[in-house]
Structure 1
Amino acid sequence: MPTTVDIFIPCFVDQLYPTTALNMVKVLERVGVRVNYNPNQTCCGQPAYNAGYHPQARAVADKFLRDFAAPPTDTERYIVSPSASCVGMVRNSYTELFAETGQQSACRPVQGRIYELTEFLVGIMGVTAIPGATLAGKYTYHDSCSALRECGIGPGPRMLLDSVAGLERLEMAENTTCCGFGGTFAVKFEAISVAMAQQKVEHALDTGADFIISTDVSCLMHLESYIKKEKLPLKCLHVADALVSGW
């Protein structure tokens, strides 16, 4: 069982949702994991990559590989992040970015060691409940595109959330449909992006849920902006935020 992990806090989480990052640390420590944070870390390169600026993305990704090179004494140490989107970027898109480059040998080990928080807890640690977690209300779960399609994350987050005392799950219609964020997609195709968020929120409201919970604050940020604009009775929570409730 791993005792120490390196954590990757994505740039937008660091700048906009630092509490979620701190809550991830609390969850990991709650189940007996020691956390190491490299303050030199920045971004995985996804924004530039998705916008088509691959040389620039490669430069950022190269720094990521150096920042998260495994220590010589622990070459199998896991990297854990609260963002399935960024994990998916490293695992999948780095293969293209570093194809036929001298960094391929440094890339593959990092790709094999990085995990999203819930898949690490359930799949690696065998943890399906966080002691003391309590949150009164009903929730509906949003499967982010990155979590479901890039990382293959399925029942794990629901298992953890269903174990939270007082929290009841209500599945919404089309819960695997994209929320419309997609990073630069939301900027380039605003009308479509907002319409997709509206549809997702309406499905969530139809369940009678109090919360939309997901592995990705990027999706939640997008949905929350629509919810606040329309003054709707719904809150957005990252999985880590829900798992620290009550203790």
Structure 2
Amino acid sequence: MGIPGPAVEYVTIPAEALAPAPRSVELAVAAALPATGLTAHQALFGHGGLEAGQRVLINGAGGSVGGFAVQLAAAVGARVTATASPRSRERVQRYGAHRVVDHTATPVTALNEQFDLVLTLVRNDRAEVARLVELLDDGGTFVSTTTPGPENPGRGVRVAQVYVLAMPGGCTSRSPSGSRSPNCPPCTPDSSAASCRGRSSRSPDATLREDKRVKANLSHRRRARHTERTARRRL
């Protein structure tokens, strides 16, 4: 805008896309949570269908999305294997990972284990992505926020790409780790993944229509302000 300070007066957003800021963290921290929290939540539950007792591999757990993903998966009772660097190992373990693999020492594709869900948050080449898919059990799910998975992996494996959507009336994020991350009523660590998935997102078409409506409204307001400023200058 060319001047310091907030630009909230220039923003329009549908009320149903908003959620109360959690009181357990500072407002600036709360403002940074939705994008990462939503990405992790929708990847695990909206796309991955994660449930208690399932085995999940989170590739890239040392980052912000990975940290949320570990906490969310552990909260619903999944068995979490996570990859992280040595500097992130202790933190990822604290978040609830049952096993942390040092990716600087052991290639994740060399793991001798099968999973129900593989979530990758790391950009890889197609060949390495294909090897990650091989870590899935028959009928498992591969979810990526980066490099897309193969189109027809076979063995009943399902592939999904994450595009984060608003979650009206539902969770912005939820984490069992205490005051550093918000709890999200009515979802709690005891809520089933299925109960949260039911309100995890609106359809892409609905989101696109809403985006167009918001942009049109914003454009109208900008034109109105421009007309008002022009009229004042003429006076």
- Please say whether Structure 1 and Structure 2 have the same fold, judged by a TM-score greater than 0.5: no
Richer in helix (by share) = 1
User: Which structure has the greater CA radius of gyration?
Assistant: 2
